[in-house]
Amino acid sequence: MTTTPSSLGRRPELGGRFTPVPDEIDAVDLPVEGTLPPELTGRYVRNGPNPLPGEESTHLFTGHGMLHGVRLRDGRAEWYRNRWVRTGALEGRPFLSEAGVDLTAVPANTHVIEHGGRLFALVENGLPYEVDGELATVGPCDFGGRLTTAMTAHPKTDPVSGDLHFFGYSPFPPYLTYHRLSAAGQDLVSREVAVAGPTMMHDFAITAEHVVWLDLPLTFQWERMATGMPFGWDDAYGARLGVMRQDAPACAVTWFDVDPCYVFHVGGACTDADGRVVVDGARYAPADVALMWGTPVPGDPAALAAATGTARMHRWTLDPRDGSVAETALEDRGVEFPTIDESLVGRPSRWRYAIADRGVRGERAGAVVKVDADGTLAAHELGPDVVAGEAVFVPSADAGRAEDDGWLITITTTRDGAASQLLVLDATEVAGAPVAAVTLPRGVPSGFHGSWFPDGLRPRE
């Protein structure tokens, strides 16, 4: 049984491109079609859920974290390897942080990032797990006992200060806690942010001056625990975005009511010349939440019948001066996993990158897409039998480069799960032929998020 993106919240079966791999392997000197740019010297690592052999999974989002990595150097693909993140859940024994947090049930299966020269595997309901440059697990990290909440899988690094902004949400009060970690990973500032209840806040945004919260109506519901994903639509909860100044984290949050929706992933955000906060994200309308998540959502039957279960790129412009909100659809094609040039996090930027796939109503085939700030879209079409994972932007080394001068790296997987490639695209010509394609030694299950770690980061070996 092949699980499609439209059934994320409804089927525990893992087949086709989601088929878990049964073991950890290493392969060297991987076949390369085309030419790998010499500037791509480092590691691409992607995280995703992968149950142990014989282990049932109650939901596509659950399963032990598994890292898939490819080492590139001097135009060669030196190795591929995959490793489970060895959490307490996988090892079958508790790991207690210095703050006394029990990490036994935490599968670090969502993202992998670098901060302060260390690599961390992340999941939003637990603490980060440090891993080394060879993908071996070092262990859980609570930054010397200072982090006492879960850590989002979508922290944001300010490209100027190097500070890491993140948060933790919880089914129990305090429902939302903001954290800011210094560039060296030594100083942590935390504060509670008041929200109405236990909202599922998967992502957020920062600008150079602000933190932007997504307080939306997918909330923790005890009666859904047996589904493996205990969140459901709460029409009475409302939907709003919150703006909090970075330079005064103790001040009140300014909230802006928005049309009901859900956002798993934010694209870019910035504060414009007029002081307005502009946020782009992959927005699910209520009917698409109902179709994708498998949760009852009140609404127009015609809208439910027309829903595809996919998100669309959307923009919110929030004006703190008068409390106004402008909401704009940028592109009609269903997309997810929006990314940008990370050197422009929180700053004005023109380009968004994302992946597209067919929804439950049979939209288009898989593609990597590039969306202009005005909504114009270019697509690298993969055809009906191949699906791309999140596309990570790697800038070129040219000091005077244009914003899109660089490459997009993604792992593609055939829909039957049999084969995968590491695909490298020219970000200036996304619709063109691939720059290079590395054939991987196995089908890599479609997963979540990854990062490019250039050698200059010197991750702990």
Positions at the binding site = 154, 202, 265, 449
Q: Check: CB of residue 208 under 8 Å from CB of residue 347.
A: yes
Residue type, 184: A
Rg (CA), the chain: 21
Locate 46 and state its tokens. 């992607």
Q: Check: CB of residue 277 under 8 Å from CB of residue 296.
A: no
| H helix or E strand, kind and range, residue 286 | helix 286-293
Locate 123 and state its tokens. 């999941």
CB-CB neighbours of 159 under 10 Å: 14
What are the Cα distances from residue 80, in Å, to 41, 71, 77, 301, 439? 14, 7, 8, 48, 10
- Cβ-Cβ contacts under 8 Å for 243 (sequence gap 6 or more): 210, 211, 212, 213, 253, 254, 255, 256, 277, 318, 320
Rounded CA separation 423/36 (Å) = 10
Rounded CA separation 163/182 (Å) = 5
Q: Check: CB of residue 249 under 8 Å from CB of residue 191.
A: yes
Locate 460 and state its tokens. 């702990």
Task: Of 200, 325, 169, give the one whose Cα is nearest residue 262.
Answer: 200
Tell me the β-bridge partners of 189: 180
Measured in whole angstroms, the distance separating CA 11 from the mean position of its chain's CA atoms is: 21
Task: Of 198, 49, 199, give the one whose Cα is nearest residue 122.
Answer: 49
Residue type, 47: N
Tell me the β-bridge partners of 115: 118
Rounded CA separation 343/113 (Å) = 14
Positions at the binding site for Fe cation = 154, 202, 265, 449
CB-CB neighbours of 313 under 10 Å: 25
Rounded CA separation 22/25 (Å) = 10
